[in-house]
Structure 1
Amino acid sequence: MRLEVHPILEDDFPEMVSAQWTSFESPFSGLIRAAAPIFNNDRVASLATSVDVQLAQHRTAQPESHWIKVVDTDANGKLVGAAQWFIYERNPFEKAEEFVADWWPEVLHIAFTIPEYRRRGVGNMLMEWGTQKADSLSLECWLDASDYGRPLYEKHGFIYIMDHFLEPDIDEKGLSDIEKEELKNLRESMLPIHVAAMWRPKGGRYIEGMTEKPWETDVNEP
């Protein structure tokens, strides 16, 4: 087994998304069905739709979106893990009107490793790629962590900030009995969806009481 990190090309998206689904279904995470639902019980067609959606999102998010993959060169370049990092070298909030932000981070949007390659260093390779980029640009990092991924992120300098519990707010008025039953089954199979917001300071070194948290800083201070 010889593992290498490479950028993901557009032709890699079908293999990447298939591996993504496998990873988030083993063990099952409701996040995958919330982000990539299976329509009409047709997994093949729904997977193809997810490929199209994620590729379109990646194209739209240029130049900030960076998909990377870890491949096993001893297994014909098999994709064994991947991650999407958003690197903001300019302020993504500059058009916002409701609040002011004078800091902007690097964001890990998603990361995964297929089951048979877990605990072999794949996750570390995906994290090192992004955190090294962040450190070279003197950027902070953010992510939302599953319970499964949180220990890996803590290892790479992320600290826990707060919990999020995700649940769709759907008005059932007007739904048929079949649709209501389908929604009930989805909630039972997917929920609760829990993630922890995590932050990594510049350089990845956090000292309680000393490291400045940007959201606690008064931007109006001279």
Structure 2
Amino acid sequence: MAYQIELVEDDDFSYIVPGLFEAMGNDYEFMNVLYPGHHTPAGQSKIASRFCALKNASAKGKWLKAVEIATGKIVGFAMWTVIDEEKPPEKELDGPPGTWPSEEEKRYCRELHRALLVDRRREIRENDLPIMMLNMMAVFPQYQRRGIGKLLMDWGLDLADKMQALCILEGTLPGKRLYLKGGFIVQRDFYLDAGEEFAGRPRDHVVFMVRPRPVKAITDAN
């Protein structure tokens, strides 16, 4: 089968969200807390609305779908962010009213988010623009190991090379091998720590990775 990368349309999210969380399962604590109820139709509907609102709020987000050419079926998803004009403010995580079942869960999610973004925020502060971030990527379970993840990654890397952009990501161990093949380098391998208050909760294993911006070719004018 052949696949191609296309931009996500608003109506696609109702299909993408269930596939995304089926691919991730319940293995990632941060995603479980960031998107409560992601395993239920009601929760998935809320997440689809959140994604749609984010997509339409800024042209800097590149929302991608991998499509099986023969059938038109969506088989994977990725979201890249382009930072090329000004550096974003370091905002505290928030969500629509009712996103979290309690203030404690909201506070927990904010602590995880803060811990996750330490390296990202440092890289953005310390480096010149443009910078690109791979925020999310997943290949739906029945289509894994067919090169689809590489297609989603390469779409962003091709754009990064054209822009001479530094690339950064927070990845999971299953994706690490693919990212290494794409030229990313592990900067830190760590477990998410939400602080003493939440010491008994599960801790995600994360790799923060950077892909250096490509070196411009120097032509001899002589």
TM-score, normalised to structure 2's length? 0.74
Q: Once the 2 structures are TM-superposed, how far is the Cα of residue 5 of structure 1 from its aligned partner?
A: 0.8
Deviation per residue, 1:121-144 (Å, 9 max, x gap): 101100110000000000010000
Distance 2:148 2:7 in 1: 15
What is residue 213 of structure 2 aligned with on the other side?
202
What is residue 143 of structure 2 aligned with on the other side?
117
What is residue 79 of structure 1 aligned with on the other side?
74
**Which of residues 134, 144, 156 in structure 2 aligns to 1:130?**
156
Q: Quick check: 162-171 or 115-124, which moved more? A: 162-171
Q: Secondary structure at the match of 1:148?
A: helix
Distance 1:23 1:66 in 2: 20
Instruction: After the TM superposition, list the runs of 4 or more consecutive aligned residues in structure 1 that deviate by more than 2 angstroms.
Output: 27-32, 57-60, 93-96, 98-102, 163-172
**Which of residues 126, 140, 143 in structure 1 aligns to 2:169?**
143
Structure 1 portions without partners, runs of 5+: 173-183, 205-222
Distance 1:86 1:112 in 2: 16
Letter in 1 for 2:13: F
Structure 1 position 63 matched with structure 2 position 59: yes
What is the aligned-residue RMSD (CA, Å)? 2.9
Q: Once the 2 structures are TM-superposed, how far is the Cα of residue 113 of structure 1 from its aligned partner?
A: 0.4
Deviation per residue, 1:21-54 (Å, 9 max, x gap): 11101x7333431221118xx8111111111122
What is residue 31 of structure 2 aligned with on the other side?
32
Q: Secondary structure at the match of 1:28?
A: coil
The sequence identity of aligned pairs, in percent, is 26
Q: Secondary structure at the match of 1:149?
A: helix
Larger Rg: 1
Distance 1:103 1:151, change over 3 A: same
TM-score, normalised to structure 1's length? 0.74
Distance 1:108 1:83 in 2: 8
What is residue 5 of structure 1 aligned with on the other side?
5
Q: Secondary structure at the match of 2:173?
A: coil
